[in-house]
Amino acid sequence: MSEKRYQVGAAIAEGVGYTIVENASLEGRNTFRVPARASLLIDVRRADALGELFGYAMLKSQPVLVLGEGSNILFTRDWPGVVLSIAALGIRELGDDGECTRIRVEAGENWNDFVRWSLARGYCGLENLVLIPGTVGAAPIQNIGAYGVEVGGFISEVEAWDRQSGQLVRLDRAQCAFAYRDSVFKHAPDRYIVTAVDFALPRRLDLQIDYVGVREELAALGVAAPNAPAVAEAIARIRTRKLPNPALVGNAGSFFKNPLVERGLADSLRQSHPLMPAWDGTGPLVKLSAAWLIESCGFKGLRQGDAAVSEQHALVLVNLGQATGMEIWSLAERIRAEVSSRFGVLLEAEPRIL
């Protein structure tokens, strides 16, 4: 579609590989299900449409937000500019080097569906990441992780539209700079738009089953010699019990990161609180359990209007009905202030707050 055929003020416009909607509701585009609107919403079904789109004045003059399924975002207001939703679909095997198969997945694919796809074809590695909401394109941005596994360990390359150079680029694992819930994409949200992800998945791998509760769940399932699908089933059962389903209760999963603190502070806290969970982190840092800190402050199950801390897991904030994003963020700030006051630890939000 040429610039001429896009009419300012039109309710809907179509182009080759994309659709544009004006004054669009975002309530169904975020898993908190909080109300928000965007001046323009563009669903992009083909990565090669981005060159045309970014040639338009509307994307040059307004702030641009890239949105997948909205499972890692909290809208506290309307978005004043353009929302780009990358909706490209497709999974294909690129080749096998004898150890791993390289698989290219378009950014709009549902993450959990892809995990199930990989397991059904005998691949290993992603079983611990089952049932995480969101799209494949969002996975490298946050370097999603669960039950002792991070997705960055299985990504070989990420394809992204580089707004700085105006072209599609490919970043290898080192260039992605993966860290705990972190990546180069998170630090440069206005530069890169993830369009596809290449995974390197083996058919044999030492399973990661030492995370608390996993072996016990496998035993409860009667699995003596676990394989990747069995581990996925065990973790799916644990997640279903512990975490509210975003299809039923608005939430974005874990709201706070597990904090990394200096060893001296961790040792001091453990002297006062011997039952406080703690694990060795990066270098001299120690990782603490944000859920334990929050629950110790008495917040688990607390309701503040329709914004609440889940009764299932203290790390999850939920929308029980009509909460706004600002009301959920107000509750989050209250939690952060109390944890900081009581333990001297500042919690960092995992979702992006807008």
Question: Of the residues 85, 254, 296, 310, which is catalytic?
Answer: 254
Concerning whether 181 is annotated as a catalytic residue, the answer is: yes
* Among candidate residues 91, 88, 185, the one with its CA nearest the CA of residue 138: 185
CA distance to 29, 63, 118, 309, per residue, from 252 (Å): 12, 23, 24, 12
The C-alpha atoms of residue 341 and residue 64 are separated, in whole angstroms, by: 36
The C-alpha atoms of residue 52 and residue 57 are separated, in whole angstroms, by: 11
- The C-alpha R_g of the chain, in whole angstroms, comes to 21
How many helices and strands (H and E) does the chain possess?
11, 21
Largest CA distance in the chain: 69
Contacts of 178 (CB under 8 A, 6+ apart): 140, 143, 150, 152, 153, 155
Concerning whether 85 is annotated as a catalytic residue, the answer is: no
Q: Looking at 107-166, which runs of residues are DSSP E strands?
A: 145-146, 149-150, 155-162
* Among candidate residues 35, 103, 105, the one with its CA nearest the CA of residue 70: 35
Q: Crossing angle for the helix pair 228-242 and 111-120, nearest 10 degrees?
A: 150
Q: Name residue, tokens 């390197």.
A: 200
The C-alpha atoms of residue 153 and residue 330 are separated, in whole angstroms, by: 35
| DSSP designation for 281 | -
**146 pairs with which residues across the strands?**
149
Q: Classify 151 as helix, strand or coil.
A: helix
Q: Looking at this protein, which amino acid is placed at residue 308?
A: A
Q: Classify 100 as helix, strand or coil.
A: strand
Question: Of the residues 181, 183, 217, 310, which is catalytic?
Answer: 181
Concerning whether 333 is annotated as a catalytic residue, the answer is: no
Contacts of 231 (CB under 8 A, 6+ apart): 127, 128, 207, 208, 209, 214, 218
Q: Which residues are catalytic?
A: 181, 254, 350
